[in-house]
Amino acid sequence: MSLFAKKDLPIGIFDSGIGGLTVLRALQQTLPHEHFLYLGDTARLPYGTKSPQTVRNYALNANDILVASGIKALVVACNTATAFALEALQEKFYPLPVIGVITPGAKASLTIPENGPIVVLATEATVKWHAYRHVLSELEPHRQVIEWPCSLLVALAEEGWCEGPLVEQIISKLFSPLFASLETKPACLVLGCTHFPVLKAAIQNVVGDNITVIDPAHTVAEEVSALLTEHQLHRINQSSANTQFMATDGIERFARVAQVFLGYPITTEQVELVTVVPTIISQAKKAAS
């Protein structure tokens, strides 16, 4: 394939479901001339309740579809998949550029000129495996990091309950024991789940304007842009770009909920139903037998 043809390929975006659409939205805003191909592994979500090995298998397996479809870069828009499968994906699909969401979010938190603890709001799985703490300990070893589980916010986001007094009351109740345990004001809150950006305004209202709330999606988009520059992969053709969607199950629900995360509606006709063949798992079983 010529370099010119390669530049016109879409950027692949992978998530266990629909939360990664917030990353897609940031990418569309930062890179308006690029094509995108989004895959949500909705048949097997949530990844957060699975073992690290299962998440790795699912991510490697599902991304075979994206890579086979033809992409020029891969964004893993899922914190759990980034934590457990990023290195395996980079190794399997080398030299395809592959980027996750955790390191960009961690780097963004260190740009805040405050000395208080960094608070990461995440799902229980991301908190349990200390995904952000591991990255931040490498970037700034002595920085205090507090990871706070907020899985209930995922349900609010998917139901489209993103603003208003009731939503803010729920957020306030979730945060109450967190802030009661803090000795100093946090430097920032990192939205460590791709569902949470749709609740950013409500979260900001609860914590106040003197605490920065970081949406890693924007930092991810900036890093993807830099990556395209590094590999000379920016699309040259300035004609209108397109975005395609794929899901492994429930395309009706995918299309319905997508509007909450994208800010604009899509139809079921825009979502392709794809089937995942669990080759990696079957091979493992075959080897065991």
Asked if residue 178 and residue 167 are part of one domain, the reply reads yes
pLDDT, residue 49, reads: 81
Helix or strand (DSSP H, E) at 179: helix 165-181
pLDDT, residue 47, reads: 87
Domain boundary among the residues 216, 249, 266 is at: 216
Q: Tens place of pLDDT for every residue, the chain, 289 residues?
A: 766 679 999 999 999 999 999 999 999 999 999 999 999 999 998 888 888 999 999 999 999 999 999 999 999 999 999 999 999 999 999 999 999 999 999 999 999 988 899 999 998 888 988 999 999 999 999 999 999 999 899 999 988 999 999 999 999 999 999 999 999 999 999 999 999 999 999 999 999 999 999 999 999 999 999 999 999 999 988 778 999 999 999 999 999 999 999 999 999 999 999 998 765 443 444 444 3
Asked if residue 190 and residue 242 are part of one domain, the reply reads no
Asked if residue 81 and residue 69 are part of one domain, the reply reads yes
Asked if residue 195 and residue 232 are part of one domain, the reply reads no
Evaluate whether 220 touches 31 at the Cβ level (below 8 Å): no
Asked if residue 16 and residue 95 are part of one domain, the reply reads yes
Nearest to 243 by CA among 14, 37, 5: 37
Structure tokens given for 218? 């924007």
CA angle 62, 127, 97 (to 5 degrees): 40
DSSP designation for 241: P
Note down the domain range covering 224.
Answer: 3-100+218-288
The total number of structural domains in the chain stands at: 2
Output the CA–CA distances (angstroms, integers) from residue 118 to 142, 191, 247, 250, in the order listed: 11, 11, 34, 37
Distance of alpha carbon 287 from alpha carbon 257, whole angstroms: 40
Asked if residue 179 and residue 108 are part of one domain, the reply reads yes
The pTM score is: 0.91
Domain boundary among the residues 163, 194, 216 is at: 216
Q: At what angle do helices 131-139 and 79-92 cross, to 10 degrees?
A: 70
Query: Would strands 73-76 and 188-191 be described as parallel, antiparallel, or unpaired?
Result: unpaired
- The domain spanning residue 50 has which CATH number? 3.40.50.1860
Asked if residue 114 and residue 89 are part of one domain, the reply reads no
Nearest to 36 by CA among 235, 253, 197, 188: 235
Output the CA–CA distances (angstroms, integers) from residue 157 to 49, 55, 66, 88, 202, in the order listed: 18, 23, 26, 30, 11
Query: Would strands 73-76 and 145-149 be described as parallel, antiparallel, or unpaired?
Result: unpaired
Asked if residue 96 and residue 14 are part of one domain, the reply reads yes
Domain boundary among the residues 186, 216, 246 is at: 216
pLDDT, residue 1, reads: 73
Burial of 70 (0-12, 13-18, 19+ CB in 10 A): middle
Three-class SS of residue 40? strand
Q: Counting runs of H as helices and runs of E as strands, what totals does the chain give?
A: 13, 10
Q: Which residues have a catalytic role annotated? A: 78, 193
Asked if residue 244 and residue 176 are part of one domain, the reply reads no
Asked if residue 116 and residue 36 are part of one domain, the reply reads no
